[in-house]
């Protein structure tokens, strides 16, 4: 017994199944790409083709009249990627050590000081580089730092970052339970745990190593983010977090990180 | 004559062992984020557990069951030894190595990516390489199913292909093709980042690729359960299959419409156009057709069994059914869960309704009810049915089997109904903790506690399952009767060529995939500026 040919216009199964499939797809296309887009109130298409392109996911021109909002202040121009410092070498660290001589007054001879300025020893290089670059462009404002970074080249800033990252961190074996804002955040206020970006739980590129920073510094920075006085965080990440934090949470988080190197 | 019993047992045991471990993790997850436990200070443990639970339950457990059952069906329905036994063992070894390779980084906290491959979160490369090995192992199975089918057809020209084999090969083709999406994503997008060759990744494109796999994989999980509906249950309860042709049409339809629908998982994503979302919504709605055909055919088959057993009148056949038979009990409980889960699924696939439950616990409730409930309970029925034929030993602890199935059903309902409810209340999924002290969340506390109880009942049922299977493994030897699949009321003497092979349906599946996915994928690749820095999970802190 020979089998009939399936792929033949004489085979009813073949023609019916393909016909039904094409019909369903066509009806779906007409409704999804023509009728529904054109029936949307508020959409102004310049024609049928424009509606089809919009339904297909292409940006259609009529939306270009929307205003693009730009900040009225200088924002960061640094693009951070995870492995931007993978190439650091001894030469870079040595050059950074020489350049760092001018930083010792506030940041200490080995990147640690009691001056309530940030401890830079062991800080992530991307974090240091980004802050230096932001001071230079004015995205982060500091009367002290601005003149010091004014004449630094991009390579200088990379060398400084590599040098401070190379120095040993403060260490402390005391284990204390982090406050809730650090470990769990405040989900109902849309606040992720501090530890999700700054260590403990996870780490995000360009987020700084906070353990062992002076409590006054951490406290001031959180308040500056909350008030908007500091605004060099990408996409307002830290401003959105700090604005939602209570004064008690700011105090608890600052104190925890300061006491928990 | 039969040479693959150890192979099939190895598949089932590996699947059920993984299932047992993952079940415990699931119950722990329910407990730890309920009001009964204080918050865990490190949510990473929770995500680690979710990743292990999901990876095992979604990728390893059903794949191994489908492979083992596929080999069983091949030999028993074609009534001759399977070809490629060595290749099948290689497939099994690859799946085992892949599973271990994937689970170790998860256990070490290096791949807590929640088992869905959604960048920019990227975990340890071994996790993804392990997944690829499992998929490669299962592709060997796909190739073997196809090879056995064609060798048999060559030797039996014109003869009707046994329906169980038709359905099994349909399922294997569906898997072979649907796994391509995630494979493309993992091989070309994720692994280069995980190995450090690249820093950035396009999450939009990755999500489209993953959706290619994400929905049809559910039908791949479902197909062994459906094969059991058609080919095991009517025989086990002393009835006949109402229609062989209807069964073939259902599986052919699954092959076509299970694929081009995954974008309903990206309804809230900006990178896919609304037109394609609508098109996928339409095809998702059509998936109800093969399911409704199946429910009709199986109910008719069960009615035949009831009437053969002396049931009379409009409803009298129901009471005449062998309710103490695990296959009868299993399919009834499975249908109840399929009904509720399917109704929930129709809500998920509706563009507007989805917005209200997107990424809430409703989704978790939905897929646990459908997969963990309706489908997995049939995996148990399959195991109970084939066990004596694999072990050559009696399996007659009927009371334990019934208790296990009932507990699974009750546990799953108690677990998932409150989950759906809290989802409607807006409880997000995939969070390690909830502040139930907050007035806005307080209403969710009680249903969540109910879910914990459901999870505990499921653990008891899982333990019973392993007890039953172990008893079957160590019972006295007893030669089982020849294995039989259900016979149709009118056994096919000839079958239309279109329903005697899968070429036409395979062609339609691939064509529809290209129509529904081609443009979104090309568009995502061609759009510049969509790559973002990858976030390495479990990296330096």
Q: How far is CA B289 from CA B14, B223, B257, B260, in A?
A: 34, 15, 10, 15
Whether B541 is covered by a domain: the verdict is no
Cα–Cα distance for residue pair A80/B528, rounded to 1 Å:
18
Contact at CB, A2 and B512, closer than 8 angstroms: no
Give the residue on A whose Cα is nearest the Cα of B120: A204
Cα–Cα distance for residue pair B55/B71, rounded to 1 Å:
23
**What average pLDDT score do residues B341-369 get?**
93
- Residue B2, pLDDT > 70, answer no
A15 to chain B, any CB pair closer than 8 A? The answer is: no
> Contacts of residue B518 in chain A, CB cutoff 8 Å?
none
**What average pLDDT score do residues B444-453 get?**
96
Number of domains in chain B: 1
Contact at CB, B43 and A187, closer than 8 angstroms: no
Task: Give me the residue from B158, B499, B508 closest to A21, CB to CB.
Answer: B508
**What average pLDDT score do residues B348-374 get?**
94
Report the range of poorest mean pLDDT among A44-48, A76-80, A85-89, A117-121.
A85-89
B358 part of the active site: no
- Residue B205, pLDDT > 70, answer yes
| pLDDT for B39 | 72
CATH code of the domain in which B247 resides: 1.20.210.10
Contact at CB, A24 and B503, closer than 8 angstroms: no
A83 to chain B, any CB pair closer than 8 A? The answer is: yes
- Residue B460, pLDDT > 50, answer yes
Contact at CB, A21 and B282, closer than 8 angstroms: no
| Residue B169, burial from CB neighbour count under 10 angstroms (0-12, 13-18, 19+) | buried
Answer whether A256's CB lies under 8 Å from A174's CB.
no
- Residue B310, pLDDT > 90, answer yes
| B315 phi and psi angles, rounded to 5 deg | -120, -5
> Contacts of residue A184 in chain B, CB cutoff 8 Å?
39, 41, 43, 433
Give the residue on A whose Cα is nearest the Cα of B47: A201
Contact at CB, A28 and B279, closer than 8 angstroms: yes
Q: Which residues make Cβ contacts (< 8 Å) with residue B430, sequence separation at least 6?
A: B47, B50, B114, B359
Query: How many A×B Cβ pairs under 8 Å?
Result: 139
Contact at CB, B441 and A203, closer than 8 angstroms: no
- Residue B25, pLDDT > 90, answer yes
Report the range of poorest mean pLDDT among A133-147, A195-209, B148-162.
A195-209
- Residue A1, pLDDT > 60, answer no
Paired tokens of B370: 């459908």
SS3 B142: helix
Cα–Cα distance for residue pair B269/B265, rounded to 1 Å:
9
Place B255 in a pLDDT band, splitting at 50, 70 and 90.
very high
| pLDDT for A47 | 85
Give the residue on B whose Cα is nearest the Cα of A200: B541
> Contacts of residue B440 in chain A, CB cutoff 8 Å?
188
Q: How far is CA A75 from CA A72, A128, A141, A174, A234, in A?
A: 9, 17, 11, 38, 8
Cα–Cα distance for residue pair A119/B372, rounded to 1 Å:
52
Q: How far is B73 from chain A (nearest CA, A)?
A: 24
Contact at CB, B520 and A199, closer than 8 angstroms: no
Task: Give me the residue from B41, B435, B537 closest to A178, CB to CB.
Answer: B41
- Residue B38, pLDDT > 90, answer no
**What average pLDDT score do residues B466-478 get?**
94
As a whole-number percent, the residues of chain B with pLDDT over 90 amount to: 89
Q: Are strands B535-536 and B532-533 parallel, antiparallel or unpaired?
A: unpaired
B265 part of the active site: no
CATH code of the region A180-258: 1.10.760.10
Q: Which residue blocks in B323-444 are alpha helix, DSSP H?
A: 326-348, 351-357, 361-367, 376-391, 398-424, 439-442
This model of the complex carries an ipTM of 0.89
Task: Give me the residue from A18, A24, A81 closest to B200, CB to CB.
Answer: A81
Task: Give me the residue from B273, B434, B503 closest to A56, CB to CB.
Answer: B273
> Contacts of residue B494 in chain A, CB cutoff 8 Å?
1
B471 part of the active site: no
Report the range of poorest mean pLDDT among A3-7, A40-44, B419-423.
A40-44
* Active-site residue, selected from the candidate residues B11, B110, B235, B368: B368
B240 part of the active site: no
Place of tokens 């507007």: B352
Q: How far is A225 from chain B (nearest CA, A)?
A: 23
SS3 B396: coil
**What average pLDDT score do residues A111-127 get?**
92
Report the range of poorest mean pLDDT among A4-8, A105-109, B11-15.
A4-8
Place B539 in a pLDDT band, splitting at 50, 70 and 90.
low
| pLDDT for B541 | 40
Place B416 in a pLDDT band, splitting at 50, 70 and 90.
very high
- Residue B299, pLDDT > 60, answer yes
| B468 phi and psi angles, rounded to 5 deg | -60, -45
Place A174 in a pLDDT band, splitting at 50, 70 and 90.
low
Paired tokens of B501: 């092979």
Contact at CB, A25 and B271, closer than 8 angstroms: no
Answer whether B379's CB lies under 8 Å from B229's CB.
no
Tell me the pLDDT tens digit for each residue of B134-179. 999 999 999 999 999 999 999 999 899 999 999 999 999 999 999 9
Give the residue on B whose Cα is nearest the Cα of A197: B541
Task: Give me the residue from A2, A31, A57 closest to B158, CB to CB.
Answer: A2
Contact at CB, B497 and A5, closer than 8 angstroms: yes
Paired tokens of B271: 């990178």
> Contacts of residue A37 in chain B, CB cutoff 8 Å?
274-275
B219 part of the active site: yes
Q: How far is B127 from chain A (nearest CA, A)?
A: 18
| pLDDT for A65 | 55
* Active-site residue, selected from the candidate residues B71, B367, B379, B380: B367
Cα–Cα distance for residue pair B500/B149, rounded to 1 Å:
11
* Residue B172 DSSP code: H
Cα–Cα distance for residue pair B224/B382, rounded to 1 Å:
8
Contact at CB, A57 and B537, closer than 8 angstroms: no
Place B274 in a pLDDT band, splitting at 50, 70 and 90.
very high
Q: Where are the domains of chain A?
A: 12-65, 90-166, 180-258
Q: Does this chain's domain A90-166 share its CATH topology with A180-258?
A: yes
Q: Which domain holds residue B91?
A: 5-536
Return the number of other C-beta atoms located less than 10 Å from residue A4's C-beta: 15
- Residue A3, pLDDT > 70, answer no
Answer whether B430's CB lies under 8 Å from B48's CB.
no
Q: From the CA atom positions of chain A, what is the Rg in Å? A: 28
Cα–Cα distance for residue pair B300/B161, rounded to 1 Å:
23
Report how far Cα B192 is from the mean position of its chain's Cα atoms.
29
Cα–Cα distance for residue pair B78/B1, rounded to 1 Å:
13
Cα–Cα distance for residue pair A58/B272, rounded to 1 Å:
9
Q: From the CA atom positions of chain B, what is the Rg in Å? A: 23
Highest mean pLDDT among A56-60, A205-209, B434-438, B453-457: B453-457
Q: Which residues make Cβ contacts (< 8 Å) with residue A167, sequence separation at least 6?
A: A110, A111, A120, A121, A122
Q: Which residues make Cβ contacts (< 8 Å) with residue B465, sequence separation at least 6?
A: B16, B380, B383, B404, B408
Place B254 in a pLDDT band, splitting at 50, 70 and 90.
very high
* Residue B200 DSSP code: E
Contact at CB, A3 and B157, closer than 8 angstroms: yes
> Contacts of residue B435 in chain A, CB cutoff 8 Å?
187-188
| pLDDT for B184 | 96
Q: How far is B8 from chain A (nearest CA, A)?
A: 33
Report how far Cα A260 is from the mean position of its chain's Cα atoms.
25
Contact at CB, B273 and A27, closer than 8 angstroms: no
For chain B, the distance separating the N- and C-terminal CA atoms, rounded to the nearest angstrom, is 58
| pLDDT for B27 | 97
Place of tokens 């700054």: A198
Give the residue on A whose Cα is nearest the Cα of B535: A204
From the list B424, B414, B433, the residue with the least C-alpha distance to B368 is B414
Whether B413 is covered by a domain: the verdict is yes
| pLDDT for A261 | 65
Contact at CB, B533 and A37, closer than 8 angstroms: no
Tell me the pLDDT tens digit for each residue of B52-103. 999 999 999 999 999 999 999 999 999 999 999 999 999 999 999 999 999 9
| pLDDT for A61 | 57
Q: How far is CA A236 from CA A229, B200, B351, in A?
A: 12, 21, 31
Return the number of other C-beta atoms located less than 10 Å from residue B180's C-beta: 16
| pLDDT for A200 | 65
B379 part of the active site: no
Paired tokens of B235: 């025989």
A17 to chain B, any CB pair closer than 8 A? The answer is: yes
Answer whether B287's CB lies under 8 Å from B258's CB.
yes
Selected residue of B158, B273, B435, B436 to mutate for chain A interface (largest A Cβ count, 10 A)? B273
Length of chain A: 261
* Active-site residue, selected from the candidate residues B48, B110, B207, B215: B215
Answer whether B210's CB lies under 8 Å from B117's CB.
yes
| pLDDT for B187 | 96
| pLDDT for A79 | 85
Paired tokens of B349: 């696939």
Contact at CB, A56 and B441, closer than 8 angstroms: no
Task: Please identify among residues 154-193 of chain A the ones whose CB lies closer than 8 Å to any CB of chain B.
Answer: 177-178, 180, 183-184, 187-188, 193
Place B34 in a pLDDT band, splitting at 50, 70 and 90.
very high
* Active-site residue, selected from the candidate residues B219, B380, B384, B436: B219
Cα–Cα distance for residue pair A199/B163, rounded to 1 Å:
57
Contact at CB, B541 and A33, closer than 8 angstroms: no
Answer whether B405's CB lies under 8 Å from B329's CB.
yes
Q: How far is B388 from chain A (nearest CA, A)?
A: 38
SS3 B10: helix
Whether B440 is covered by a domain: the verdict is yes
Following DSSP, what letter does each residue of A156-175 receive, concatenated?
A: HHHHHHHHHHHSPPP-----
- Residue B509, pLDDT > 90, answer yes
Report how far Cα A29 is from the mean position of its chain's Cα atoms.
38
> Contacts of residue B352 in chain A, CB cutoff 8 Å?
none
* Active-site residue, selected from the candidate residues B11, B264, B366, B420: B366
- Average predicted confidence (pLDDT) for chain B: 94
Q: Which residues make Cβ contacts (< 8 Å) with residue A204, sequence separation at least 6?
A: A196, A197, B535
Tell me the pLDDT tens digit for each residue of A20-59. 999 999 999 999 999 999 988 877 788 889 889 989 988 7
**What average pLDDT score do residues A98-119 get?**
92
Q: Are strands B532-533 and B200-201 parallel, antiparallel or unpaired?
A: antiparallel
Query: Residue A158 half-sphere exposure, CB side, CA atoms within 13 Å?
Result: 15
| pLDDT for A72 | 87
Whether B114 is covered by a domain: the verdict is yes
- Residue B247, pLDDT > 60, answer yes
As a whole-number percent, the residues of chain B with pLDDT over 70 amount to: 99
| pLDDT for A233 | 92
Contact at CB, A4 and B496, closer than 8 angstroms: yes
Q: Which CATH superfamily is domain A90-166 in?
A: Cytochrome c-like domain (1.10.760.10)
Greatest Cα pair distance, chain A, in angstroms, is 97
Contact at CB, B43 and A188, closer than 8 angstroms: no
Answer whether B82's CB lies under 8 Å from B74's CB.
yes
């Amino acid at each position: 017994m020979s089998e009939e040919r399936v792929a033949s216009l004489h085979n009813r199964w073949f023609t019916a199944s393909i016909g039904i499939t094409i019909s369903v797809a066509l009806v779906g296309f007409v409704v999804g790409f023509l009728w529904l887009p054109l029936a949307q109130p508020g959409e102004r298409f310049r024609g049928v083709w424009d509606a089809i392109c919009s339904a297909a996911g292409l940006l259609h021109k009529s939306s270009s009249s929307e205003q693009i909002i730009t900040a009225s202040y200088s924002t960061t121009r640094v693009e951070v990627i995870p492995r931007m410092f993978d190439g650091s070498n001894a030469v870079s660290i040595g050059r950074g050590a020489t350049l760092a001589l001018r930083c010792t007054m506030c940041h200490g001879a080995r990147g640690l000081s009691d001056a309530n300025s940030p401890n830079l020893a062991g800080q992530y290089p991307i974090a240091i580089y980004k802050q230096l670059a932001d001071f230079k462009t004015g995205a982060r404002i500091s009367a002290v730092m601005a003149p010091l970074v004014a004449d630094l080249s991009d390579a200088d800033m990379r060398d400084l970052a590599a040098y401070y990252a190379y120095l040993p961190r403060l260490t402390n074996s005391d284990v204390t339970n982090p406050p809730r804002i650090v470990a769990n955040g405040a989900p109902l206020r849309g606040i992720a745990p501090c530890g999700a970006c700054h260590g403990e739980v996870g780490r995000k590129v360009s987020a700084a190593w906070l353990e062992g920073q002076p409590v006054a510094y951490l406290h001031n920075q959180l308040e500056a983010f909350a008030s908007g006085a500091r605004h060099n965080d990408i996409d307002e990440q830290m401003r959105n977090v700090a604005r939602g934090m209570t004064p008690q949470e700011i105090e608890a988080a600052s104190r925890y990180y300061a006491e928990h190197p | 004559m039969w040479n693959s019993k150890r192979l099939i047992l190895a598949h089932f045991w590996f699947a059920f062992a993984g299932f047992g471990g993952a079940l415990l993790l699931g119950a722990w997850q329910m407990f730890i984020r309920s009001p009964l436990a204080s918050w865990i200070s490190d949510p990473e443990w929770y995500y680690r557990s979710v990743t292990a639970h999901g990876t095992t339950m979604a990728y390893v457990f059903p794949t191994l069951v489908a492979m083992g059952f596929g080999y069983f069906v091949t030999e028993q329905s074609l009534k001759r030894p399977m070809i490629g036994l060595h290749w099948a063992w290689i497939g099994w070894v690859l799946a085992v190595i892949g599973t271990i390779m994937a689970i170790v980084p998860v256990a070490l906290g290096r791949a807590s990516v929640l088992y869905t491959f959604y960048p920019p979160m990227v975990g340890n490369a071994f996790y993804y390489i392990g997944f690829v090995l499992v998929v490669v192992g299962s592709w060997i199975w796909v190739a073997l199913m196809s090879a056995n089918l064609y060798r048999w057809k060559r030797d039996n020209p014109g003869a009707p292909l046994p329906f169980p084999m038709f359905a099994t090969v349909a399922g294997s083709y569906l898997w072979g093709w649907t796994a391509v999406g995630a494979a493309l994503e993992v091989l070309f997008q994720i692994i280069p980042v995980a190995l450090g060759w690249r820093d950035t990744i396009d999450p939009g494109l990755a999500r489209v690729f993953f959706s290619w796999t994400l929905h049809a994989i559910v039908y791949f999980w479902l197909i062994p359960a459906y094969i059991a509906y058609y080919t095991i249950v009517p025989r086990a309860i002393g009835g006949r299959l109402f229609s062989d042709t209807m069964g073939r049409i259902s599986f052919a339809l699954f092959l076509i419409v299970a694929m081009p629908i995954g974008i309903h998982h990206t309804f809230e994503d900006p990178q896919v156009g609304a037109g394609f979302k609508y098109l996928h919504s339409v095809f998702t709605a059509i998936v109800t057709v093969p399911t409704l055909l199946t429910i009709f055919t199986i109910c008719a088959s069960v009615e035949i069994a009831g009437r053969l057993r002396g049931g009379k009148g409009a409803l009298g056949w129901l009471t005449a059914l062998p309710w103490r038979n695990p296959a009868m009990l299993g399919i009834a409980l499975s249908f109840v869960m399929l009904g509720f889960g399917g109704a929930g699924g129709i809500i998920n696939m509706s563009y507007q309704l989805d917005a209200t439950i997107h990424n809430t616990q409703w989704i978790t409730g939905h897929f646990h009810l459908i997969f963990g409930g309706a489908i997995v309970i049939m995996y148990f029925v399959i195991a109970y049915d084939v066990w004596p034929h694999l072990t050559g030993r009696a399996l007659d602890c009927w009371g334990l089997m019934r208790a296990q199935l009932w507990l699974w059903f009750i546990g799953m309902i108690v677990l998932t109904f409150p989950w759906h409810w809290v989802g409607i209340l807006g409880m997000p999924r995939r969070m390690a903790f909830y502040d139930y002290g907050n007035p806005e969340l307080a209403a969710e506390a009680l249903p969540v506690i109910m879910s914990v109880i459901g999870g505990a009942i499921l653990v008891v049922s899982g333990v019973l399952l392993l007890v039953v299977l172990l008893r079957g493994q160590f019972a006295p030897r007893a030669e089982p009767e020849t294995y039989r699949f259900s016979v149709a009321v009118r056994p096919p003497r000839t079958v239309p060529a279109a329903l005697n092979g899968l070429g036409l349906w395979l062609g339609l599946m691939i064509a529809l995939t290209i129509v529904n996915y081609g443009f979104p994928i090309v568009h995502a690749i061609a759009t510049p500026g969509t790559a973002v820095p990858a976030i390495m999970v479990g990296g330096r802190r």
